[in-house]
A and B are shown apart, each in its own frame.
Chain A
Amino acid sequence: MKLVVGIVKPFKLDDVKAAVQELGVQGLTMTEVQGFGRQRGHTEVYRGAEYTIDFVPKVKLEVLVDDADALSVAERIMESARTGKIGDGKVWVLPVDGVFRIRTGEAGSDAL
Chain B
Amino acid sequence: MHASTLRDARDALVASHELRGTGFGRALGALLDDALGGLLDELQPSVSVPVALVALGSYARGELCPGSDIDVLLLHGASRKPRVRDEVRAAAERLWYPLWDAAFVTGHAARTVKQSIALADEDTDGMTALVHVRHVAGDPTLTAELEQRARQLAQRRARRLVEVLAAAADERRERPGPVAEMLEPDLKEGAGGLRDVHSLEWAGAALGAAGISGLAERGYLTSDDVRRLDAARERLLDLRVALHRVTGGRSDRLLLQEQDAVARAVGAADADAMVRDLATSAREVAWIGRDAWSRLRAAVLGPPGRVAHRDHEVAEGVVVREGRVVLTGTVAPSALTVLEAAIAAAEGGLSFERSSLLRLRAMHPPTWDVWERAAFLRLLRAGRGSIAAFEALDHEGALTVLLPEWEHVRSRPQRNAYHRFTVDRHLLEAVAECTSLLDAAEEPERTFDGVVARACRRPELLLLGALLHDIGKGADGDHSAVGADVAQRVARRIDLDSEGREILTWLVRHHLLMADTATRRDLSDAAVVDGFAAACSGDGERLRLLYLLTIGDSRATGAAAWGTSKAALVRELFVKTAAAIERGAAAAMASERRHALTERVGADRAERFLDALPDSYVLAFDTDAMVGHVDMIERSEPAIVCTSLPGGVVEITLVAPDRIGLLATASGALAVSGLSVREALLFGTSDGMALDVFRAADPFGRVDDRGTGFVASTLHAALADELDVEARVADRVRDYQRASAARGAVEITIDLDASDGATVIEVHADDEVGLLYRIATTFAELGLDVSVAKVATLGERVIDTFYVRDRDRKKITDDRVLGQIRATLVARLADSAVA
Contact = CB atoms under 8 A, between A and B. Distances in A.
Interface in A67-92: 83, 85
Given A49-B446, A51-B448, A85 B519 contact: no
B455 interface: yes
Contacts of A53: 568, 572
Contacts of B521: 11
Given A11-B519, A11-B520, A85-B524, A46 B565 contact: no
Interface of B: 446-448, 450-452, 455, 519-524, 563-566, 568-569, 571-572, 574-575, 578
A14 B516 CA distance: 12
Nearest to A58: B565
Contacts of A14: 520
B739 to A, nearest CB: 38
Given A44-B571, A44-B575, A57-B566, A49 B522 contact: no
A83 B522 contact: yes
Q: Is the interface of B mostly helix, strand, loop or mixed?
A: helix
Contacts of A33: 565
A57 B572 CA distance: 11
A48 B450 CA distance: 12
A51 B566 contact: no
Given A11-B520, A34-B564, A46 B569 contact: no
B569 A57 contact: yes
Q: Is the interface of A mostly helix, strand, loop or mixed?
A: strand
Contacts of A108: none
Contact of B565 (A32, A48, A49): A32
Given A44-B572, A49-B447, A49-B450, A34 B522 contact: no
A102 interface: no
A46 B446 contact: no
B522 A46 contact: no
Nearest to B524: A85
A44 B566 CA distance: 15
Given A10-B519, A11-B521, A57 B568 contact: yes
Contact of B578 (A10, A46, A57, A83): A46
A47 B569 contact: no
A51 B571 contact: yes
B233 to A, nearest CB: 36
A57 B451 CA distance: 23
A71 B561 CA distance: 33
A19 interface: no
Cβ-closest 9 pairs across A and B? A49-B451, A57-B565, A32-B565, A44-B575, A51-B448, A57-B568, A49-B448, A11-B520, A11-B521
Contacts of B524: 83, 85
A46 B566 contact: no
Contacts of B578: 46
A57 to B, nearest CB: 4
Nearest to B560: A32
A53 B572 CA distance: 10
